[in-house]
Amino acid sequence: MNLCTLFDSNYIDRALVTYDSLISVCSDVTLYVIAFDRTCFNTLNTLALPGMVVIPYEEFEDDTLRNAKNDRSAREFLWTCSGYCIRYIMGRFDLSDLTYIDSDLFFYNSPEPALQAFLDSGCDAAIISHRYSRHPENEFNAKMYGKYCVQFNSFKNTENGKKILDWWIDRCIECCTENARDGLFGDQKYLDMFADMFDGVYEYEDFGMGIAPWNVDDYRILKKDQTDMIIENRHTHENGSIIFYHFHSLDIFPDGGSNIRVFIRPGKHDRELVESLYKPYISKINAKRRFLFDRFGLFDPDKQEKGQKLHEGELKTFLTCEPSLYFLIRKFFRYLFHKNKDYISV
């Protein structure tokens, strides 16, 4: 199984936890990494982890990316590189297929059966829906930010696969805005157009893939042990194991505290499920940071941002980011009655 991702030294703690989770559940996996700064490359190169191929950013960048970097923010540029990363690695290593993953995923079970179903489908590109839970806010989010999520996206090294991938890359070079407008948002909103523009587009629909803060309220925990967690969809009553969870928008502070930003979202959340996901993950991140500090001097606790319930600028964002007074009122009540559950210490 061929996977790729990209990150810099600020995200290396989470990426290494993602790697550890992959190695623990997959029988055969190679993770190709574009290291976006020299500290990241040197650290990974020194660790020489089995199944990880590390590529320095300097070898990845070309004139097109160099020019694109000048007219967008750092986050927009990172998004610009997601499709570029797939094409570069698939071509350089002559791979028959390649899947991009975000570096804040955690794998509880192997995605290999899901990937194999795509490879056997006759399709050439595979995308995965956000699977937003059913709330007015999420209907708005789907329209603004896209039905599909750039988190686990696969392409085959075929004529049609490369055609789809090239189109996506070209659109991202043209525009990869972090301010949703004119039907565009980052690298993500373009995925909504795939099925209308191309044949051979596959959608991952496997249970347990893509559980995330925007849909975790759809699930409740049925059973857990040291190696697995069985969940049930409250609406369909389908149940099974989690394949991967996307730990999006999570802040972890050096004092062991965190802001998980789950309970501020709409929905009735199973607190046992949420804490069963987040507490072990946060502990793993903290352990990885201690290791990286002891060995490489990274994540110095004295230099990290200290935990605050509302960090500078967050209150302004809280009050201004909602598109309507109705959404703001709903969010205000969630803040009063549920936001305190988002602050987890381990």
Chain mean pLDDT for the chain: 94
Query: Do residues 52 and 19 touch, judged by C-beta distance below 8 A?
Result: yes
Tell me if residue 30 falls in helix, strand or coil. Answer: strand
Average pLDDT of 82-98?
Answer: 98
Show Cβ contacts of residue 214 under 8 Å, excluding neighbours closer than 6 positions: 130, 132, 133, 138, 141, 248, 265
Euclidean distance between CA atoms 281 and 182, whole angstroms:
37
Q: Assign residue 14 the CATH number of its domain.
A: 3.90.550.10
Closest C-alpha among 186, 121, 192, 115 to residue 154: 115
pLDDT at 304: 72
Nearest one of 97, 98, 57 to 81, comparing CA atoms = 57
Strands 2-7 and 97-101 come out as parallel
Average pLDDT estimate for 95-107: 98
Least confident interval from 63-72, 218-227, 289-298 = 218-227
Last residue of a domain, one of 170, 204, 238: 204
**59 within a domain of the structure (yes/no):** yes
- Asked if 159 and 235 sit in the same domain, the reply is no
**Do 83 and 106 reside in the same domain of the chain?**
yes
Q: What percent of the chain has pLDDT over 90?
A: 87
Q: Is the dihedral of CA 234, 238, 241, 245 positive or negative?
A: negative
41 and 182, same domain (yes or no)? yes
Could you tell me if residue 150 is inside a domain? Answer: yes
DSSP state, 70? G
Question: 189-229, pLDDT tens digit by residue?
Answer: 999 999 999 999 999 999 999 999 999 999 999 988 777 88
Average pLDDT over residues 291-313: 77
Instruction: Verify that 307 and 251 share a domain, yes or no.
Output: yes
- What's the pLDDT tens digit per position in 239-267? 999 999 999 999 999 888 899 999 999 99
Report if residue 133 sits inside a domain: yes
Q: What is the pLDDT of residue 323?
A: 84
pLDDT band at residue 321 under the 50/70/90 scheme: confident
229 and 242 Cβ atoms separated by less than 8 Å? yes
Query: Quick check: 9 pLDDT over 60?
Result: yes
307 pLDDT higher than 70: no
User: 274 falls in which pLDDT band (50, 70, 90)?
Assistant: very high
* Inside any domain, residue 56: yes
DSSP string, 212-275: -TTTGGGEEEEEE-SS-EEEEETTT--EEE--EEE-TT-EE-TTSEEE---TTSSS---HHHHH
Q: What distance in Å separates the CA atoms of residue 264 and residue 322, rounded to the nearest whole number?
A: 13
Sheet with strand 257-259: strands edge to edge: 251-252, 257-259, 343-345
How far is residue 189's CA from residue 146's CA, in Å, rounded to a whole number? 5
Instruction: Give the domain-ending residue among 204, 232, 249.
Output: 204
How many independent structural domains does the chain possess? 2
- Report the pLDDT averaged over residues 322-336: 90
Query: Do residues 125 and 53 share a domain?
Result: yes
Q: Say whether both 174 and 225 belong to one domain.
A: no
Range of the domain at 189: 2-204
Q: Quick one: 112 and 181 in the same domain?
A: yes
Judged against a pLDDT cut of 70, whether residue 95 lies above it is answered with yes
Q: CA-to-CA distance for 263 and 274, rounded, in angstroms?
A: 9
Query: Token match 């896209």: residue?
Result: 146
- pLDDT (tens digit, 9 = 90+) per residue, 178-196? 998 889 999 999 999 999 9
pLDDT of residue 182: 87
Residues 292 and 177 in one domain: no
- Please indicate, yes or no, if residue 211 is contained in any of the structural domains: no
Note whether residue 102 is domain-resident: yes
Q: Of 204, 229, 255, which residue constitutes the final position of a domain?
A: 204
Instruction: Summarize pLDDT for 107-135 with one digit per residue, the tens.
Output: 999 999 999 999 999 999 999 999 999 99
Distance CA 333, CA 278 (A): 23
Same domain, 220 and 194: no
Q: Give yes or no: residues 196 and 340 share one domain.
A: no
Is residue 187 assigned to a domain? yes
Shared domain for 220 and 188, answered yes or no, is: no
What is the per-residue pLDDT across 70-88, written as a single tens digit (0 to 9) for each? 999 999 999 999 999 999 9
Q: Which residue, among 96, 100, 86, 136, has the nearest Cα to 120 in the 3D structure?
A: 96
Whether 127 and 222 map to the same domain: the answer is: no
Q: Is residue 209 in a domain?
A: no
pTM: 0.95
Under a CB-based contact definition with an 8 Å cutoff, are residues 76 and 173 in contact?
Answer: no
Whether residue 305 is predicted with pLDDT greater than 70 in this model: the reply is no
